[in-house]
Structure 1
Amino acid sequence: MASNQVTVASPPTDAISALKFSPDPDSTRFVVSSWDKHVYLYDLRDENGNIGEGKLLQKFEHRAPVLDVCFGANEDEIYTAGLDWDVRKIDISTSAQTVLSSHDAGVRSVVYSKEHSLVISASWDSTLHVHRTDGSDPSPAIIPLPSKPFSMSLTPTKLVVAMASRALHIYDLKAVALLTAQSDGNNPNKVEVEPWQRRESSLKFMTRSVACMPNDAGYASSSIEGRVAVEWFDPSPESQARKYAFKCHRQTSDDVDVVYPVNSLSFNPIHGTFASGGGDGVVALWDGIAKRRIRQYQKYPSSVAAVDFSGNGKYLAIAISPGFEDGKDDVLEGTVKIFVRELGETEAKGKGAK
């Protein structure tokens, strides 16, 4: 299978914090954020339109390490979040950076909802900033959170925020859009948006990543202690009885079970299966409905920092960075890498799929 994998040229020089493909099914662009204070824009296609080794199109400097990045309404705009406390919009055609808002601490996550034209950022100051991109109000609405956010994901209708103390909030995006539209620029823009649901994580240890199902039915979450939980939004007892968790990303060393964090999760937008990337350098594909592992790829040289599927589900990008699991502070040159796998037709299909 290695022949179906390319190593992307010109990777970041420090640890990778996030990697996101353009959601456009026809696009092969992806963005990467790094602790080297830059955001990188790549395209798998070369000038002739052929799939190559991933061409670095542009890179954008920030004042501090960048912790998250996402595409906006189209692939010519991206949003970033980082340790400079800012949420930024970058216009790719002009390279112009605009600060949408500043939090009171580092900004851990940023997501874009095309259905509601909202950019939502989650900061370690225990707030969400909700930015309207329709130009109606330049100042964001601020939603207080009960604790520090670690990861965030959305669907067309829901926003899932995973926090410290195993807290998890699910927001109805329609309600968020409605209430933030009513906030005016004369007050501090704090809005009390009640979560649609408050949950406690099924996982006993700190949440590392959360990812929503493409069919808007639920989400998967992962922890620092080698486990993944799969849950459904529907609050009915029948749906809640379906939730489960499983162990993964564990390696046996000298008869000892070594447990690694599950750093990243991503759902395939076509097949609804999902990938997990762990501190053990392993990427696995899972069928969350059939509760089975579909496949596991050959171990990578260091910790998997991020995984993401392309908008058409045909490519899987994998970013590796030596992680704190190895106890190393210095990232050696050449150890940060990005691989992109071209998936076979059935490679990411579920066990029960036709």
Structure 2
Amino acid sequence: MTGSNEFKLNQPPEDGISSVKFSPNTSQFLLVSSWDTSVRLYDVPANSMRLKYQHTGAVLDCAFYVENLVGTHDAPIRCVEYCPEVNVMVTGSWDQTVKLWDPRTPCNAGTFSQPEKGYVLSSIEGRVAVEYLDPSPEVQKKKYAFKCHRLKENNIEQIYPVNAISFHNIHNTFATAMMGLHLQ
């Protein structure tokens, strides 16, 4: 069962979705990484899978970039982002480091140790909240929360945790993913 603002992916991953990212250049493409060891590229309007890349282990995050970029951490990479304004790929790892990668050079551009620093935000009850750091009343009025990833069958509501969130930088929208293998 899907509402008007959600759809089920055709050919979804076989395990939990770990990350979803919209293409920075067009809203047509969505990149999905999964615990099933795959990264998949979807054509959103056609709801079809364009490409699938299989890794040897769970893929915890993904990012769009136009070239191949090689770099390693000592533990799994948890977050990856490309910053086109400064032409840098940023990766965060369970090895407690953040690394910068310049695609014009074959080596990493900087490593920053992050021992015992970080935070975790999770919603096991299928909720998403939009919060603002600015404490002014006019900005705080903009915050909101909503329920998502709920399926009702035979008057029993199944609630799934939000597993990943991806923001679209042009349309100011976002998508959420759950372990139940669909986006909202």
| Superposition TM-score, scaled by structure 2 size | 0.78
The 1:57–1:105 alpha-carbon spacing in structure 2 relative to 1, beyond 3 Å, is: same
1:1-354 map, 5 Å: 2-24=3-25, 26-46=26-46, 54-72=47-65, 76=66, 89=68, 100-133=70-103, 135=104, 137-140=105-108, 141-147=110-116, 163=118, 207-208=119-120, 223=121, 261-262=122-123, 279-284=124-129, 286=130, 288=132, 289=139, 290=141, 292-293=143-144, 295-297=146-148, 299-300=150-151, 301=158, 302-313=160-171, 316-321=174-179, 335-339=180-184
Which structure has the larger Rg?
A: 1
Aligned partners of 2:80 and 2:92 also within 8 Å: yes
Higher helix proportion (structure 1 or 2): 1
CA RMSD of aligned residues (A): 2.5
Deviation at 1:65, TM superposition (A): 0.6
Instruction: Quote the offset at 1:318 in angstroms.
Output: 2.3
1:338 offset after TM fit, Å?
A: 2.5
CA distance 1:314–1:3, shift in 2 (3 Å): farther
Q: Do the aligned partners of residues 143 and 311 (structure 1) sit closer, same or farther apart at CA in structure 2, a change above 3 Å counting? A: closer
More RCO (CA 8 Å, sep 6+): 2
Greater fraction of residues in strand: 1
**Separation in 2, partners of 1:145, 1:316:** 28
SS in 2 for 1:5: coil
- Paired with 1:34 and 1:22, the residues of 2 have a C-alpha distance of 17
Q: Give a deviation string over 1:13-70, Cα, whole Å, max 9, x none.
A: 011111111122x332111111111101111123xxxxxxx21111111111111111
Report the Cα distance in structure 1 between the residues aligned to 2:59 and 2:5, rounded to whole angstroms: 30
2:33 maps to a residue whose letter is S
Structure 1 runs (4+) greater than 4 angstroms displaced: 294-298
Per-residue CA distance 1:206-227 (angstroms, 9 max, x = gap): x22xxxxxxxxxxxxxx3xxxx
Equivalent AA in structure 2 for residue 292 of structure 1: K
For structure 1, the 5+ residue unaligned runs are 47-53, 78-88, 90-97, 149-162, 164-206, 209-222, 224-260, 263-278, 322-334, 340-354
Aligned length: 168
C-alpha change, 1:106 and 1:312, in structure 2 (3 Å) is same
Unaligned runs of 5+ in 2: 133-138, 152-157
Q: Which amino acid aligns with 1:37?
A: T
Matched position secondary structure for 2:61: strand
Q: Which amino acid aligns with 2:106?
A: P
Distance 1:295 1:7, change over 3 A: same
Matched AA of 1:116? V
Q: Say which SS state the counterpart of residue 12 (structure 2) adopts.
A: coil
Q: Give 1:138 deviation, angstroms.
A: 0.7
> Within 2, Cα distance between the matches of 1:287 and 1:102?
34
